[in-house]
Every structure is written in structure tokens, then in C-alpha cells.
Amino acid sequence: MNTQVPVINLSELTEYAEFICEVLVGRNRMSLRVTTEDHGDFLLVPVIEKSPIPADVLSELEQMQKVLESPETSLAGPPPLDMPF
């Protein structure tokens, strides 16, 4: 696996900005190291957005957590579901 980050210079970034941003970074989630004249390098990386967890799933998780944290819930004994084996 190649762990090297491709290096481009600032003039290449400005010349091919649309292609780099849309295709390389946007679609292919590629990170690039951009070098400048004064040696102030920076990284161009994609920001991967996570979709929010639906409210119904959050409420179910909260209910499950309350049940597990209640003192009358015992974790010892047989599993609550019929196991196929």
C-alpha cells in the first residue's frame, strides 16, 4: 500500500483547481501536499461528512441504555433470544 501523499506546487493547484477539487479530492478522496514558493507547504484533504443519526434510532439507543443501566436488569442467565445452535 502506498502511503506517500502526492505533491503538487501552488501553480499546478491554481491551474487545475476544478479538476483537483472535484475529481481527485472530491470523488476519489485523495489528499495532496501543496508546496509554495516560501516553503510553506499545506495539505489539501477531503472532509468526509457523516450523515446524522435519525432521531428514532437515537431514542431506541437511549431506551436500551436506560434498560441496561437499571439495577433490575441482570446480565447473567440465558440470552434473551433463541439461539439457533
Residue 2 pLDDT exceeds 70? no
Is the residue at 64 inside a domain? no
Is the residue at 55 inside a domain? no
The whole-model pTM stands at 0.51
Quick: pLDDT tens for 22-35.
888 777 788 889 89
DSSP state of 53: P
The domain total for the chain is 1
Is the residue at 31 inside a domain? yes
Domain coverage including residue 32:
7-44
CATH number at residue 20: 3.40.1620
Could you tell me where the beta strands, DSSP code E, fall in 1-85?
Answer: 7-9, 32-35, 42-44
